[in-house]
Structure 1
Amino acid sequence: MVKIIADSTCDLSKELIEKYDIAIIPLYVRLGDEEYLDGVNITPEKLYEWSDKTGQTPKTAAASVTDIMDKIKENEADEYVIFTISSSMSANYSNCKLAAQELDMEDKIKVIDSQNLSTGIGLQVIEACEMSRAGKSAAEIEEYILSLRSKVRASFVIDTLTYLYRGGRCSGLAALFGNALKLHPRIAVKDGAMGPEKKYRGLPKKYIMDYVKDMDEAFKNAKKDRVFITHSGCDKDIVEMVRSYLSDLGHFDEILETRAGGVVSSHCGPGTLGVLFIEK
């Protein structure tokens, strides 16, 4: 049997992690001099409170090679497939490769650079879990995921530019004018990197639904298995409005909601929401 391991940036819920028996490697989140494990002993709410109080953005760091080796040892299996956040965003991919070398298990461990983040990784992880349950080998899983990777559609619409500014991803002037004018950028992942695609205006109920409706044509060409609504702390009514809209399309077999973890939340801030899926 192939054991599927993913780093904590996959943002899968505890229920999904348990359902698919996924092992999680936590990344680190640093609030000043204090260090925490993503998804273990830090919540996005605590992160936001600290950031607003200090005016700083949390720092994030990859898992160490030792951390990764320990996680592999904890999960005995014939073979392993490990998923990481995009290698352009973190050293976690290279650290996982080093861990496989240190354990002299490169023949048994396939490390996949998801070229994505959040449930853009999670979508790939679940596909791999289903293949593992079907008896596929690590090599077969890797081959399929690498062919699927470019079809993952991951995007988010940002509520406030403040956190992007604190993290150095947007200028102070842009953040000032953007927040004053209630501009909300759509950020998409392409070729392993994040970039702005479009800007929306207005209050959350309006701009979030404008963002979702803009994907109507893409939804028609999406794999029917599942779609994720992933957010960093949004009003329940807004999340349900998005869920209802997706349900009314009658296209997806499963609509899954997850909360973004500490690493993703530290950069996007509260109120961010994304709809993520795989194209056929």
Structure 2
Amino acid sequence: MRNVQIITDSTSDLSLELLKTNNIDVVPLYVVFEEHTYKDGIEITTEDLYKKVNDTGELPKTSAPTPGDFHEVFKYHIEQNKDILYMGLSSQLSTTIQNAKIAASEFPEGRIEIIDSLNLSAGIGLLALKAVDLTKEGLNVQQIAAKIREQLPKVKTFFAVNTLEYLQKGGRCSSVQSFIGNMLKIRPILKLVDGKIILHQKTRGKREKTLNALIEEILKDKDLIDLDRMIVNHSLAPEDAVYLKEELEKALSIKEIVFLKAGCVISSHSGPQTVGVMYNVR
């Protein structure tokens, strides 16, 4: 039986250390500022992105890897006599999955499994780490893909957004909503549902109130949460993310809470001081 190579895209937000330790390969999305195009996480960092936004007053565009980008990565691993399991950014948010399927169709049937995560950011990362766990059980690529597909509706992804400005600039809410929201200090809690980002809850007032509302929301699943692994993710909000991590560790007997920094794609839509929590339910 051939070894299975796990591949994801750069929106999974897994750290270089985790990617290396778990032998996960990544196909980067693109970040576009006017005439300049950068590979997410390779040619531009989140800090670079925010600096460019501050300098220009404009948000970048993001674009999917091309079928050619996928073909190059897939070809390398196929030539290493590996089967491939790829999972990427929700098809409701990007053409990334579509382009991966186009590339996969150029290889022998059964060698590449493409999974639409119906998620984003470290929600994808959580699935990728689960796939790595399954490779260690000696399962083949089809068996792993089947188990991951069963897992898709069990992944919960929440984000607490500090400002509506980036959502407004990215077309996620109107300028009037953004103005009123910022005047009233409204901080949304967003949730992934069926591969789409929805407004789950509005909070007002101090930042701590928003974080506690997010914790309260997560603890509604207290008796259902898979305690093996949870992810706390942030975009230039390390103190808030540490607070979330510590409070969740107090409330739940989680074996591992993975602490990550959000990449350019999620940051370009959510803005600085965004925090996220991703976990599985049984």
**Structure-1-length-normalised TM-score:** 0.96
**Cα distance between partner residues in 1 of 2:5 and 2:217:** 37
The corresponding residue for 1:13 is: 15
The change in CA–CA distance for 1:21 and 1:80 in structure 2 (over 3 A counts) is same
CA distance in 1, matches of 2:217, 2:252: 17
Q: Tell me whether 1:187 sits opposite 2:167 in the alignment.
A: no
- List per-residue Cα deviations over 1:167-191 (Å, max 9, x = no partner): 1110000000111111011110010
Question: Please, which runs of 5 or more residues in structure 1 have no aligned partner?
Answer: none
Tell me if the contact between 1:83 and 1:113 (Cα under 8 Å) persists in the aligned partners. Answer: yes
- Within the candidate set 149, 160, 168, 2:163 is matched to 160
Deviation of 1:233 after TM superposition, in Å, equals 1.0
| SS of structure 1 residue aligned to 2:187 | strand
Off by >4 Å, runs of 4+ in structure 1: none
> Which stretch of structure 1 is more off in the superposition, 242-251 or 86-95?
242-251
Partner of 1:60: 62
- Give 1:125-136 correspondences, 5 Å limit: 125-136=128-139
Q: Is the 8 A contact 2:222 2:252 kept in 1?
A: no
Q: Does 1:252 align with 2:258?
A: no
Task: Report the equivalent of 1:83.
Answer: 87
2:96 is aligned to 92
Alignment counterpart, residue 150 of structure 2, candidates 143, 147, 150: 147
Identity %: 35
Supply the distance in 2 between the matched residues of 1:61 and 1:269 (Cα, whole angstroms): 18
Equivalent pairs, count: 278
Query: What residue identity is the alignment partner of 2:212?
Result: M
For residues 77 and 201 of structure 1, what CA distance do their matches in structure 2 show?
Answer: 54
In the aligned structure 2, how far is the partner of 1:43 from the partner of 1:29? 10
2:177 alignment partner in structure 1: 174
Partner of 1:219: 222
Give deviations 1:215-257, integer Å, cap 9, x for gaps: 21213311011111011110x3322221111111242100111
Task: Quote the residue 2:72 is aligned against.
Answer: 70
Aligned-partner SS, 1:220: coil
CA distance in 2, matches of 1:134, 1:108: 19
- The answer (yes or no) to whether the contact 2:235–2:262 under 8 Å persists in 1 is yes
Q: Distance in 2 between matches of 1:132 and 1:188?
A: 29
The answer to whether the 8 Å contact 1:156/1:273 transfers is: yes
Shift of 1:159: 0.3
Aligned to 1:262: 264
Please give the secondary structure, in 1, of the residue aligned with 2:221. helix
CA offset at residue 109 of structure 1?
0.2
Partner of 2:204 in structure 1? 201
The 3-state SS of whatever aligns with 2:139 is coil
2:32 and 2:184 map into 1 onto residues whose CA distance is 32
Q: What CA deviation, in whole Å up to 9, does each residue of 1:76-98 have, x standing for no partner? A: 24311001100111111011111
CA deviations over 1:41-74 (Å, ceiling 9, x no partner): 1111221122233232210011111111111223
Choose 217-226 or 159-168, whichever is displaced more. Answer: 217-226
The question of whether the paired residues in 2 share the 8 Å contact of 1:154 and 1:276 is answered with yes
**CA separation in 2, counterparts of 1:212 and 1:223?**
16
Between 69-78 and 134-143, the greater mean CA deviation after superposition:
69-78
Deviations 1:128-153 (A, max 9, x none): 11111211111101111111100100
State the Cα distance separating 1:205 from its structure 2 match.
2.4
* Secondary structure of 1:170's aligned partner: coil
Q: Identify unmatched segments of 5+ residues in structure 2.
A: none
Q: Distance in 2 between matches of 1:130 and 1:117?
A: 20
Q: Distance in 1 between matches of 2:5 and 2:44?
A: 26
Q: Is the 8 A contact 1:79 1:138 kept in 2?
A: yes
Distance in structure 1 (CA, Å) of the matches to 2:72 and 2:57? 35
